Amino acid sequence: MFDWIQHFADWLIYSVFGIAADSHLGTALNFFVYDTLKILILLFLIVFLMGIVNAYLPIEKLKNFLNRKKLYGLEYFFASVFGAITPFCSCSSVPLFIGFVQGGIPLGVTFAFLITSPLVNEVAIAMFIGMFGLQATLIYAASGILLGTIGGWLLGKFNLEPLLSDWVKKILENKMQQSEYEEAKLTFRQRLPEITRGAWEIVKGVVLYVIIGIAIGAAMHGYVPENFFGQYLGGGQWWTVPLAVLVGIPMYANAAGVIPVIQVFVAKGVPLGTALAFMMATVGLSIPEATLLKKVMSLKLIAIYFGIVAFFIIFSGFLFNLIL
Amino acid sequence: MKEIKVLGPGCPKCKTTYSNVLEALKQTNIEANVEKVEDIEEMMKYNILMTPVLMIDEEIKIKGRIAQVNEIIELLKK
């Protein structure tokens, strides 16, 4: 499917620029052009598809679904899936959190949504397909959704309400009545320009990170020796996964920038499970998100939330290293 | 005079929306009170889920994404 991009990259670097195909610079530049084009095309396609999904399943509708239906324990799973298909913006996490609990959705279910939302998002999925292929992407998405489901369920088992901020407790006491969501009746054709522009906006917003990430990745590809990381991190030492997670949490990077670099780590010998754990910690748990959440919950609750998610990320890292 | 509010806890998207509003007003020469609502408690009174939100005369017009200058101009003319 992407052969033509490879031909284009070969032509551009080797013929137009005349850089030798067997030089470090040639390989690195070729890799950079190929990956950037491939990723940007994938990114637009996936974001566009998600835009269509979101046009028909807006967040209000999903919230009402969680609210109204008897789901017999499956609500954690549904919330997690909804978190995955909703576009994530860290600045929306607090309004979402309040909106959910205000609507009477249990705290655990809200957490299930909140965990998966940054973990599995359209940008990460597109980058993953481009960098690791479809199979790894499916594993990543499935484990992210599972992690949100279990994490949310577990958090729901604790008595966490007292750990919310006072004004949030007050909201919980007098739950506002459900405002009915009115769906705009538009045909697909009428929605298309809006969806296209939305997709374009998202791609435009991350394009710089993609280019920087791929540039770093390309440079590393050309210059870091084969199996360089494998020597130190590839031997299956047990501490590599927790370490990857601990390093990942304070490192706030968006998926667009971090995945191309991770891909090189994997290519040079880091086990995929360790890399996945690092990636999940980087995008799923972030300090800026924690500071925003401080407005609605106590530090203790944030610590419990992050602790549980970090635990499950480490667990899945081990699991992947074992089975992949 | 129109009352315009931009709701959002200060993320880049919210800032862009706010400056787009100012730009739209400048282009159309429409006078309006523009208010930036950054306080979450205040924001939640409007029962929103996604930010940024653009409100004109206490009515939610665009939510969860950046409002474009020409979109805002269209909304202002109504």
Record the tokens describing residue A67, joined without a space: 């609210």
The candidate with the shortest Cα–Cα distance to A263, out of A228, A217, A195, is A217
Query: What's the confidence (pLDDT) of residue A229?
Result: 72
- Rounded to a whole number, what is the distance in Å from the CA of A159 to chain B's nearest CA? 24
Fold for B2-77, please state it: Glutaredoxin (3.40.30)
Query: What's the confidence (pLDDT) of residue A148?
Result: 94
Chain A residue whose CA is closest to B65: A198
Residue with tokens 């282009």: B27
φ, ψ (nearest 5 deg) of residue A322: -75, -45
Query: What's the confidence (pLDDT) of residue A253?
Result: 67
Cα separation values, A3 from A20, A24, A36, A37, A39, Å: 20, 22, 14, 12, 14
Residues of A in contact with B59 (CB under 8 A): none
Chain A residue whose CA is closest to B50: A92
Of A91, A102, A198, the CB nearest to B11: A91
Query: What's the confidence (pLDDT) of residue B74?
Result: 86
Tell me how far apart the alpha carbons of residues A292 and A220 are, in angstroms, rounded to a whole number.
Answer: 35
The candidate with the shortest Cα–Cα distance to A128, out of A200, A39, A222, is A39
Query: What's the confidence (pLDDT) of residue A247?
Result: 82
3-state class of B55 per DSSP? strand
Tell me how far apart the alpha carbons of residues A107 and A48 are, in angstroms, rounded to a whole number.
Answer: 31
Tell me how far apart the alpha carbons of residues A87 and B49 are, in angstroms, rounded to a whole number.
Answer: 12
Confirm or reject contact between B42 and chain A (CB < 8 A). no
pLDDT (tens digit, 9 = 90+) per residue, B14-73?
Answer: 888 899 999 998 898 888 889 888 887 788 778 788 888 898 888 888 888 788 888 888
Interface contact A89-B44, CB threshold 8 A: no
pLDDT (tens digit, 9 = 90+) per residue, A138-196?
Answer: 988 999 999 999 999 999 998 888 888 888 888 777 665 555 555 566 777 777 887 88
Q: What is the pTM of this model?
A: 0.84
Of B11, B43, B49, the CB nearest to A59: B49
**How many alpha carbons lie under 13 Å from residue A161 in its C-beta half-sphere?**
11
Asked if A46 and A126 touch (Cβ cutoff 8 Å), the reply is yes
Query: Any residues with CB less than 8 A from the CB of A50 and at least 6 apart, and which?
Result: A85, A87, A122, A199
Of B14, B41, B47, the CB nearest to A91: B14
Tell me how far apart the alpha carbons of residues A281 and A314 are, in angstroms, rounded to a whole number.
Answer: 9
Please list, residue by residue across A243-257, b when 16 or more beta carbons sit within 10 angstroms of its beta carbon and e when fewer do.
Answer: bbbeebbeebbbbbb
Active site residues of B: 11, 14
pLDDT in tens, chain A (324 residues): 678 888 888 888 888 888 887 787 888 888 888 888 898 999 999 989 988 888 888 888 888 888 876 777 789 999 999 999 887 776 777 888 888 888 888 899 999 999 998 888 888 889 889 888 898 899 889 999 999 999 999 999 988 888 888 888 887 776 655 555 555 667 777 778 878 888 888 888 888 888 998 888 888 877 777 777 777 666 667 788 888 888 888 776 677 788 888 888 888 888 888 888 988 898 888 887 788 888 888 999 999 999 999 999 999 998 888 887
Element (H, E) at A34: helix A24-56
Domain locations along chain A = 18-169+192-323
Residue with tokens 């995955």: A84
B7, B13, B39, B44: best to mutate for the A interface, most A CBs within 10 A: B44
Amino acid at A203: V
Interface contact B68-A197, CB threshold 8 A: yes
Query: Any residues with CB less than 8 A from the CB of A272 and at least 6 apart, and which?
Result: A132, A136, A266, A320, A321, A324
Domain locations along chain B = 2-77
Interface contact B47-A95, CB threshold 8 A: no
Interface contact B51-A99, CB threshold 8 A: no
Tell me how far apart the alpha carbons of residues B14 and A70 are, in angstroms, rounded to a whole number.
Answer: 36
